[in-house]
Structure 1
Amino acid sequence: MKFDTAYCLSLDEKLSIYDVRELNFDETVAFDSDKDSFLCPNDVCRAAFQASNVLTTFNAKNVNYLRTPHFKNTPATQHIDGCRYASTHKGAASESDDEREDNFPSEFVLTRRTYPRNTALPGSEEKIPQDPTKTPSTRVGSPASSHESAPDKTSVFAHPVECYVSNIDNKDKLKSMPLKIGDHTATYWTFFKKIEYLQDNKGLIYWGKIKEIKDYTNSFRIDFEKKVWLDKKPYSVNVYLSKKLIENYRKRKAFLEQIKAAVDSERTLYCFFYGVTPELKQVPSKKNPEQTFGVFSADIENLDHLIIREAPGVQ
């Protein structure tokens, strides 16, 4: 069975699998999911077993992935009768469901969440202490319970993007699932806007197929395949990633590994981003600097809100 949330022993916190990925790649914190222990998110079930009754992660450390990240039981994992996370529980998901994200967060929180580590950790052979007021890391203002569900909120951009991409063949679901970003609430289907239609609305999640990634050694420019039409003229679209932005990024190593692989990749890749809307700009021509040409362009302001990935099924 796969599920999105688990209890992290070292942090004494419930994390989504996307939180775990963030921590694994974050160079400012000491975290390694392979060396940590993840337990059942059901408080009552977790309290019934020793801390050695662990779960395992799937795609928690891969920079690029095709199959949806998740937690899952090991052959030795035990659950109390009736626990919704038991593999034998009626309605449990099978491994064939790995390619679809079913846990839709209702809000994408723009402020990055931090994960303070406890100074004292419970012993590996002790029962896990329960705090009924403890809340999952991806939730805000909702108490934890013994019947945990998917996180209502997330600050990890990859989560709503995975929901959209992995459910692209189910437009009715995407049109029915609500998403809030800042003061704007719409459906997933409305929030994700193809790059060629960026003039329709501002403040959305724009995405498109990548035509080329220009590697300027310390900075990058992502060119999109589709063009924007304005006054019956087509204009190219790109986003720029500055040297300063990349150098100061807390996940710099993982990002550089990903984008440098993407530069020379023959795979079909897509870029999703939030926080900026490309605007029409006049830039000088390389062949004749005295001449300019129009292009829709934007400088990315937050790499946490940009993703380069494969996206099978999207058009």
Structure 2
Amino acid sequence: MKFDTAYSLSLDDKLSIYDVRDLNFDETADFDSDQDSFLCPNDQCRAAFDASNALSTFNAKNVNYLRTPHFKNKTSTRHIDGCRYASTHKTASGESDDEREDNFPSEWVLARRQYVRKPPLAGTEGDIPKAPAKASSLRVTASPGNPDSTPDKTSVFAHPVECFVSNIDDKDKLKSMPLKIGEHTATYWTYFKKIEYLQDNKGLIYWGKIKAIKDYTSSFRIDFEKKVWLDKKPYSVNVYLSKKLIDNYRKRKAFLEQIKAAVDSERALYCFFYGVTPELQQVPSKKNPEQTFGVFSANIENLDHLIIREAPGLE
């Protein structure tokens, strides 16, 4: 059985698998999921066992992934009777149903979640608690009154993107699941807008197949395959990632590893981004600087809100 939330022993808090990935690549965070222990998110179940009753992670440290990240039970993991995280069945191949993200957050919080490592109790430094007896204080609030509910908020862009990508074959589901961003709520289907239709509305999550990534050594430009039609004319679309943006990014190493691999990749890659809407600009021609041509372009402002990935099934 797969699930996307677990209790982190080192942070004394419940984390989604996307929080764990975010922390693993964050160069400003003192965190390594391999050195942590993840326990059942059900408070009553977790309290019934000691800290050795841990879960395992899947795709917690891969920069690029195709199969949905998740926590899962080890063969030795135990649960109390009635815990919904107990393994009840496996697929014919012996693997859990890890091809689809089923935990849809109803809100994507644009402000990055702060993970505060809590100090040990006096006189217990170096000791590992044997059984967390009560629910930890949550920075991402779960549904009230349900001790094992999955938090319905996320601050990690990869989570709603994975929900969209892995459920692309179920349009009815995407059209029924709500997503709140800022003060606005729409369905997942409405919020994710193909790049060629970016003129339909602003403030959406735009996505499209990448035609090419231009590597300028310290900056990059992502060109999209599809064009935008305006006044019966096609215009190219691109987004620009500046040197300053990349140099100041807290996950700089992981990002550079990913985008440099993408530059040389022959596989179909897609780009998702939020926070800017490409606008029609007149750009000087390289061959004749006195002439200009139109292109829809935007400077990305936050790399936390941009993803480059494979996405089988989108087109």
Normalised-by-shorter TM-score class: over 0.9
Q: Distance in 2 between matches of 1:192 and 1:181?
A: 12
SS at match of 1:95: coil
Deviations 1:69-100 (A, max 9, x none): 00000000000011000003799xx7352110
Q: Distance in 2 between matches of 1:222 and 1:10?
A: 38
Q: Distance in 2 between matches of 1:269 and 1:223?
A: 11
SS at match of 2:15: strand
1:138 match: 140
Superposed displacement of residue 222, structure 1:
0.1
Superposed displacement of residue 150, structure 1:
2.3
Equivalent of 1:124 in 124, 128, 132: 128
Superposed displacement of residue 282, structure 1:
0.3
Q: Distance in 1 between matches of 2:250 and 2:198?
A: 29
RMSD: 1.7
Superposed displacement of residue 125, structure 1:
5.8
Deviations 1:180-226 (A, max 9, x none): 11111110000000000000000000000000000000000000000
SS at match of 1:128: coil
1:249 match: 249
Decide whether the 8 Å contact of 1:5 with 1:71 is kept in 2.
yes
Q: Once the two structures are aligned, what percentage of the paired residues are identical? A: 82
AA at the equivalent of 1:175: K
Q: Distance in 2 between matches of 1:311 and 1:250?
A: 25
SS at match of 2:62: coil
Q: Distance in 2 between matches of 1:64 and 1:196?
A: 25
1:305 match: 305
AA at the equivalent of 2:51: A
Superposed displacement of residue 144, structure 1:
6.7
1:229 match: 229
1:78 match: 78
Q: Distance in 2 between matches of 1:280 and 1:154?
A: 32
Structure 1 spans left out of the alignment, 5+ residues: none
Q: How does 1:1-315 map to 2 (within 5 A)?
A: 1-88=1-88, 95-120=95-120, 123-124=127-128, 126-131=130-135, 134-135=137-138, 137-139=139-141, 142-143=143-144, 145-146=146-147, 148-315=148-315
SS at match of 1:236: strand
Decide whether the 8 Å contact of 2:90 with 2:96 is kept in 1.
no
Decide whether the 8 Å contact of 1:134 with 1:143 is kept in 2.
no
Give the TM-score taking structure 1 as reference length.
0.95
Decide whether the 8 Å contact of 2:2 with 2:96 is kept in 1.
no
Give the TM-score taking structure 2 as reference length.
0.95
Structure 2 spans left out of the alignment, 5+ residues: none
AA at the equivalent of 2:214: K
Q: Distance in 2 between matches of 1:105 and 1:292?
A: 44
- How many residues end up aligned between the 2 structures? 309
Decide whether the 8 Å contact of 1:104 with 1:150 is kept in 2.
no
Q: Distance in 2 between matches of 1:302 and 1:281?
A: 21
